[in-house]
Amino acid sequence: MPAANDNLLGSYLKDRRAKLDPASFGLPLMRRRTPGLRREEVAQRANVSATWYTWLEQGRGGAPSADVLDRIARAMMLTDAEREHLFLLGLGRPPEVRYHAPEGITPRLQRLLDTLEFSPAFVRTATWDVVAWNRAATAVLTDYGTLPDGQRNILRLMFRDSRVRAAQANWQSVARFVVAAFRADVARAGAAQNVQSLVDELCATSPEFETMWRDNDVQTHGDGTKTLHHPIAGPLAMEYSAFAVDGRPDLSMVIYNPATPADKERVAALIRSAESGQ
């Protein structure tokens, strides 16, 4: 008898296939007895035997390989979420990560950032490039809008920007944490090749970065509390948290929340000062 997971996999494939529009695949719109693509059409697109694919849908095809599941996912033009579900059913694990270059953020996500009036917040990519921020981040952290696209990288700022370095209460500890969390994010996103030029650049220009990078430490960003030394407001106690952006595995949102009412008022004063141009 087929295993329970084989039945679930077969049922999922059959359901996905029935919901596919033949026109989207350039197939002739002839009369079809059932909706969606035929098994033979999926098998041909995936370069597998039609008989074996039929058995797979019937829960008796045996365990498919990751390569075959990947070909079926492409043949059906599955989304990343659908592809992950396919692998979980077929192999009991998610597929290997595939890094996608960032495509910017939606207006809705920017509006969410803007609602955080007194909490500096930004959105970063898996390679730690800042792609969106709010006015509190501009006033408290960095005026990202004045930086060229290629320079809005948190590692570059941490190791190359004297103002960012001076803002850290314990730069050595913070920098080591940043490098370890960056390494973990890059590996999780499958983006090692995409950041190699950045790593080479920082290793060549910063002995401190080179030492930390060669330590091979990894950490998750998580949450915590840190003190920032602002050149105008002085010490600011901030609680920080990082969140994955649902549906966008390439993005994370980082939020700094003032730890006390006094810190909130100092942030508010910085925002008012920035808006008045003082």
Share of residues in the chain with pLDDT > 70 (%): 93
Residue indicated by tokens 């003082």: 278
Which class in CATH covers the domain with range 107-276? alpha beta
Average pLDDT over residues 204-232: 92
Give me the phi and psi of 268, to 5 degrees please: -60, -40
How confident is the model over 119-134, as pLDDT tens digits? 999 999 989 999 999 9
Average pLDDT over residues 214-222: 88
C-alpha 278/C-alpha 273 separation (Å) is: 5
Share of residues in the chain with pLDDT > 90 (%): 59
C-alpha 146/C-alpha 276 separation (Å) is: 17
Contacts of 3 (CB under 8 A, 6+ apart): 59
SS3 15: helix
Q: Is the pLDDT of residue 2 over 50?
A: no
How confident is the model over 10-30, as pLDDT tens digits? 889 998 888 888 888 877 666
Element (H, E) at 56: helix 50-57
The crossing angle, in degrees rounded to 10, of helices 4-18 and 50-57 is: 110
4-91 and 107-276 agree in CATH topology: no
| Domain boundary assignment for the chain | 4-91, 107-276
Give the closest residue to 136 by CA, choosing from 112, 111, 157, 119.
119
pLDDT of residue 101: 67
C-alpha 125/C-alpha 46 separation (Å) is: 32
Between the alpha carbon of residue 173 and those of residues 17, 19, 80, 159, the distances in Å are: 52, 52, 36, 13
Q: Is the pLDDT of residue 244 over 60?
A: yes
Q: Is 171 exposed, middle or buried (0-12, 13-18, 19+ CB in 10 A)?
A: middle
How confident is the model over 30-71, as pLDDT tens digits? 667 777 888 998 999 999 999 999 999 998 867 789 999 999
Q: Is the pLDDT of residue 263 over 80?
A: yes
Q: Which two tokens stand for residue 130?
A: 């800042």
Question: Would you say 226 and 240 are in contact if contact means Cβ atoms under 8 Å apart?
Answer: yes
SS3 70: helix
Give the closest residue to 188 by CA, choosing from 141, 134, 145, 128.
128
Which class in CATH covers the domain with range 4-91? mainly alpha
C-alpha 197/C-alpha 229 separation (Å) is: 31
pLDDT of residue 30: 66
How confident is the model over 138-183, as pLDDT tens digits? 999 999 999 988 899 999 999 999 999 999 989 999 999 999 999 9
pLDDT of residue 248: 78
Mean of pLDDT over the chain: 89
